[in-house]
């Protein structure tokens, strides 16, 4: 028996590849199937089952393409009703893969069909669980995403999750290994550990959700402090449930190279959004007017989903040379399939064609320290509220990037302000959005609060509620 966790950091997502005696199973695969098929061929094993823990909201799974290419059966838990052929497992139904057994444990609460898969080794001993979004390390799945589909409140779903955990998961032995679907950084939970594998015994000791005295306390604990889910989540659920375009088709479209003239015409004729995936350290020096910068060197796909939201939005890409396929692949993982093509030769080709370019007014942290007048100048900190609360520039306002579509309308276009994040990635996203909407009355600070903290700019951890943007 071999179990391999295939972890994708930008999505904080774990897929699992399992083999035993010539047969294999894959749990919660990503959209692109080539790496899995290459692995199967290399190991000389046949894929028998594709297990899905639930209808994922934060990414588009590769179950359909993988099943078509390998003939493997797709397995969902009880109550799932997808628009394609699959096995709907009964609670406690067993599946043989070589010499091991996988048992489907129905664990509703995060979603109604959520299922934890218990793996029993060759001797029949409970070895590990693939807990999906039911149990994370340090947390449990948020119970608010499936409210509308389930016709239930988040409190009712949380109560159901409590029952699932106490009756199906907690009775298992402490030495059972926990393999979750996500780790720290995912929007599917609020308190996840940075580790991606742990023992169930340790989770029983330290996971706050598993240490509540009763159901009422559990419901209160897991529903407190939940931020609104990203807007694209519901659309990804629909794609996972109803079906989607093949990854190869999406990739072929995205890899269509357009000359500067063709690119410009496409932008004008298709209502496409120009997405520039270059580093913020390059983007600010020159870019196509109206383009939005979300760099591949950060949490690219989640930010695209959170800020663009509509997965059907036509996109035109500007990338560094050789990064076109990476950009298309990562966009497809969150369902952004309507990619018209990319700029052949990148931004340099645009410049060489003599077309118009724009820049962002960026200054160093030391220039900021020299020029800012605390109490007089307006400073907008676009980090999360928790980051802001830990320490921030004195008198700075907190306006998280995730809520920019709400607070941008409150900006006075006649009032200058400084803007920063933690390191420059998020503030350049915000800067590009602001300029695309006609705001040019700001100065962005390179290096963000990390760089500012090394200057003599006054800082504080005192939080004035009037300076916080309430979610």
For residue 83, the model assigns a pLDDT of 97
Q: Are residues 169 and 195 in the same domain?
A: yes
Q: Are 355 and 264 in contact (CB under 8 A)?
A: yes
Q: Are residues 384 and 434 in the same domain?
A: yes
Q: How confident is the model at residue 464 (pLDDT cuts 50, 70, 90)?
A: low
Q: What is the pLDDT of residues 335-356, one digit of tens each?
A: 999 999 999 999 999 999 999 9
Q: Are 247 and 65 in contact (CB under 8 A)?
A: yes
% the chain with pLDDT above 90 = 91
Single residue among 304, 329, 352 that ends a domain in this structure? 352
**Which pair of tokens denotes residue 321?**
């040379």
List, for residues 218-260, the tens digit of each pLDDT value: 999 999 988 888 889 999 999 999 999 999 999 999 999 999 9
Q: What is the CATH number of the domain that holds 100?
A: 3.60.15.10
Dihedral of alpha carbons 151, 153, 154, 157, sign = negative
Q: Is the pLDDT of residue 468 over 80?
A: no
Q: To the nearest whole percent, how much of the chain has pLDDT over 70?
A: 98
State the number of CA atoms in the 13 A half-sphere of 75 facing the CB: 25
The answer to the question of residue 122 being in a domain is yes
User: Where among 352, 377, 409 does a domain terminate?
Assistant: 352
- Same domain flag for 169 and 298: no
Q: Is residue 357 a part of any domain in this protein?
A: no
Domain's final residue, options 352, 381, 398:
352
pLDDT the model gives residue 95: 98
SS3 assignment, position 325: helix
Q: Residue 461 — pLDDT band, cuts 50, 70, 90?
A: confident
**Residue 402 lies inside a defined structural domain of this protein:** yes
Q: Alpha-carbon distance 419 to 143, whole Å?
A: 34
Six-digit token string for 230: 């990203």
Domain harbouring 309, CATH code: 3.40.250.10
Question: Is 338 found in the same domain as 424?
Answer: no
240 in a structural domain: no
Give the pLDDT band of residue 150 (cuts 50, 70, 90).
confident
pLDDT in tens, 71-121: 999 999 999 999 999 999 999 999 999 999 999 999 999 999 999 999 999
Q: What is the pLDDT of residue 87?
A: 98
pTM for this structure?
0.92
300 and 266 together in one domain: yes
Q: Is the domain of 174 the same as that of 279?
A: no
Residue 14: domain span: 2-234
Band the pLDDT of 470: cuts 50, 70, 90: very low
Helix residue spans in 195-246 (DSSP H) = 200-206, 215-223, 233-242
Q: Answer yes or no: is 239 within a domain.
A: no
- C-beta separation of 24 from 48 below 8 A: yes
pLDDT range class, residue 466, cuts 50, 70, 90: low
The reported pLDDT for the residue numbered 227 is 83
Taken as a whole, the chain contains a residue count of 471
Mean pLDDT across the chain: 95
Three-state secondary-structure class, residue 375: coil
Question: Is residue 211 situated within a structural domain?
Answer: yes
Same domain for 171 and 70:
yes
Number of domains in the chain: 3
pLDDT at res. 80: 97
Write down the residue that tokens 């120009």 correspond to: 274
Sign of CA dihedral 215, 216, 219, 220: negative
258-267 confidence digits (pLDDT tens): 999 999 999 9
Question: pLDDT tier at 148 (50, 70, 90 boundaries)?
Answer: confident
256 and 127 in a common domain: no
Q: Residue 149: its pLDDT value, please?
A: 85
How far is it, in rounded angstroms, from Cα 76 to Cα 55?
Answer: 9
Listed residue (284, 280, 283, 276) closest to 308, CA to CA: 276
SS3 of 252, please? helix
User: What is the tens place of the pLDDT at every residue in 409-454?
Assistant: 999 999 999 999 999 999 999 999 999 999 999 999 999 999 999 9
Do the strands 392-393 and 459-460 form a parallel or antiparallel pair, or are they unpaired?
A: antiparallel
Q: Tell me if 60 is assigned to some domain.
A: yes
User: What is the predicted pLDDT for the residue at 166?
Assistant: 98
Residues 111 and 30 in one domain: yes
Same domain, 86 and 217: yes
Kindly state the tokens that stand for 283.
């983007």
For the chain, state the CA radius of gyration: 24
> Do both 13 and 150 map to the same domain?
yes
Q: What is the pLDDT of residue 191?
A: 81
Outline where DSSP puts E strands in 302-377.
Answer: 315-318, 339-343, 362-363
| 24 shares a domain with 93 | yes
Q: What confidence tier does 471 reach under pLDDT thresholds 50, 70, 90?
A: very low
Q: Is the pLDDT of residue 390 over 70?
A: yes
In a domain, 195, yes or no: yes
């Amino acid at each position: 028996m071999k179990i391999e966790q295939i972890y994708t950091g930008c999505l904080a997502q774990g897929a699992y590849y399992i083999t035993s005696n010539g047969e294999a199973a894959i749990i919660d695969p990503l959209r692109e199937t080539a790496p899995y098929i290459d692995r199967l061929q290399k190991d000389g094993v046949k894929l028998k089952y594709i297990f899905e823990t639930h209808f994922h909201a934060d990414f588009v799974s590769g179950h359909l393409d993988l099943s078509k290419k390998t003939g493997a059966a797709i397995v969902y838990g009880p109550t799932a009703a997808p628009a394609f052929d699959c096995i709907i497992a009964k609670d406690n139904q067993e599946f043989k893969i070589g010499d091991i057994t996988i048992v489907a444990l129905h664990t509703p609460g995060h979603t109604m069909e959520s299922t934890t898969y218990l793996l029993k080794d060759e001797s029949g001993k409970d070895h590990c669980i693939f807990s999906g979004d039911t149990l994370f390390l340090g947390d449990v799945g948020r119970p608010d995403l499936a409210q509308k589909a389930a016709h239930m409140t988040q409190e009712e779903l949380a109560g159901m999750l409590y029952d699932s955990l106490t009756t199906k998961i907690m009775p298992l032995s402490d030495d059972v290994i926990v393999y979750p679907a996500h780790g720290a950084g995912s929007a599917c939970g609020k308190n996840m550990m940075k580790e991606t594998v742990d023992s169930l015994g340790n989770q029983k000791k330290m996971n706050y959700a598993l240490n509540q005295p009763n159901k009422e306390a559990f419901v209160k604990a897991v529903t407190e402090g939940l931020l609104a889910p990203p807007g694209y989540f519901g659309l990804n659920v629909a794609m996972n449930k109803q079906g989607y375009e093949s990854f190869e088709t999406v990739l072929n479209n995205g890899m269509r190279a357009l000359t500067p003239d063709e690119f410009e015409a496409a932008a004008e004729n298709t209502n496409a959004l120009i997405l520039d995936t270059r580093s913020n350290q390059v983007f600010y020096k020159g870019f196509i007017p109206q383009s939005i910068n979300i760099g591949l060197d950060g949490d690219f796909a989640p930010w695209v989903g959170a800020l663009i939201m509509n997965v059907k939005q036509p996109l035109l890409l500007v990338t560094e040379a050789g990064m076109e396929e990476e950009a298309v692949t990562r966009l497809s993982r969150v369902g952004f399939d309507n990619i018209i093509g990319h700029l052949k030769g990148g931004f340099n080709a645009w410049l060489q064609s003599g077309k118009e370019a724009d820049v962002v007014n960026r200054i160093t942290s030391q220039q900021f320290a020299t020029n800012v007048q605390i109490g007089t100048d307006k400073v907008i900190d676009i980090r999360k509220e928790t980051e802001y609360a830990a320490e921030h520039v004195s008198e700075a306002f907190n306006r998280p990037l995730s809520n920019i579509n709400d607070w941008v309308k409150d900006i006075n276009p006649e009032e200058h302000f400084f803007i920063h994040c933690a390191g420059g990635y998020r503030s350049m996203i915000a800067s590009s959005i602001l300029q695309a909407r006609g705001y040019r009355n700001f100065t962005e600070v390179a290096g963000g609060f990390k760089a500012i903290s090394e200057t003599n700019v006054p800082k504080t951890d005192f939080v004035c509620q009037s300076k916080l943007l309430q979610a």
